[in-house]
Amino acid sequence: MSVDVQIYTSGSGNWTKPSWATLVQVICIGGGGGGGGGDTAASTTAVTGGGGGGGASRSERWFAASDLASTEAYSVGAAGTAGIAGTGTGGGTGGQGGNSTFSSGAKIVTAYGGGAGCGGTSTSLSYAGGGGGAGLTGAGGTGTVSTSQYNAGGVAGTNGGLAADATVPSSFFVGGSGGGNGYVASGSSAGHSIFGGSGGGSGGAKTATPTYSGGYSGGQSRAAQLDAAAFLREGGRARLGFAGSGGGGGFASATIAGAGGAGGFPGGGGGGGGAALNTGTAGAGGAGGGGVVIVISQ
């Protein structure tokens, strides 16, 4: 049996249907959200690391080849950009991950992008919200500064909260997980996902003492671990159609803080940058993992 695999990792264009194809499988994963940059503050002022970016969702569909045109348009979701390091007035917010699509007229396959992590802040008792993970019906929201903690590590919503479509159980399997929240006393790790991208961890914080915390871990993409033997056999690489894990948050420091880790390809959220003393340098956020469109004909 003939099999044709086309993997698109950037941009947009047209897929051409093989003349012999009878079935076509389409897998789309959106771009992961970028992590927020950390910020700096004076010795007695607490400051957060940046919030982690949210993971992208995954969407898969089978078509009878006869239902598709001879060419079909595709577009790959761009990776969310990294938030810049702050210099005392707030870290930069990361970029939103783009949507990945494959179109057959009304039969469109869409995987939404992860939300952006908020930049670090020295606002009293505040959180720098992690980006929301993408869901079945929409992209993850951008994290914001808030005085109440969001539900970090949730699936598909604003600020690392629960799913915009949380009443759909499958959202927890194909949706991305939310990024971790930065906090003036600490931070938080990101949640895990099954088939969607995972969120990035928040950057470490500087307290008013001052003390400096390490960065927080990104979420894991669990699908890559479902077949443990194959995962190890392939050197720990994600298999075709699996989404990426989230980047870790950067550590806080009195001198040069750590940058957030980049989100795994495809669709993982970037980690938040670490906070620093105002005589030092805060860490930038990590970029999200880019999206992908995979078309398998047989």
Gyration radius from the chain CA atoms: 19
Residues 245-254, mean pLDDT to the nearest whole number: 94
Selection from 101, 166, 155 nearest residue 131 by Cα: 155
pLDDT (0 to 100) of residue 163: 34
Residue 155 confidence class, pLDDT cut points 50, 70, 90: very low
For all residues of the chain together, what is the average pLDDT?
84
Beta pairing partners, 294: 7, 27
Looking at the structure of the chain, the number of domains it has is 1
- Cβ(182)–Cβ(36) below 8 Å: yes
Domain residues for the domain of 163 are 1-298
- Count other Cβ atoms within 10 Å, centred on residue 296: 18
**CB-side neighbour CA atoms (13 Å) of 249:** 45
Tens digits of per-residue pLDDT, 228-240?
555 455 554 456 7
Beta strands in 99-222 (DSSP E): 100-103, 109-111, 127-128, 145-146, 182-183
Tens digits of per-residue pLDDT, 107-118?
789 999 999 999
Q: How many whole angstroms separate alpha carbon 61 and alpha carbon 65?
A: 12
Tens digits of per-residue pLDDT, 73-94?
999 999 999 999 999 999 999 9
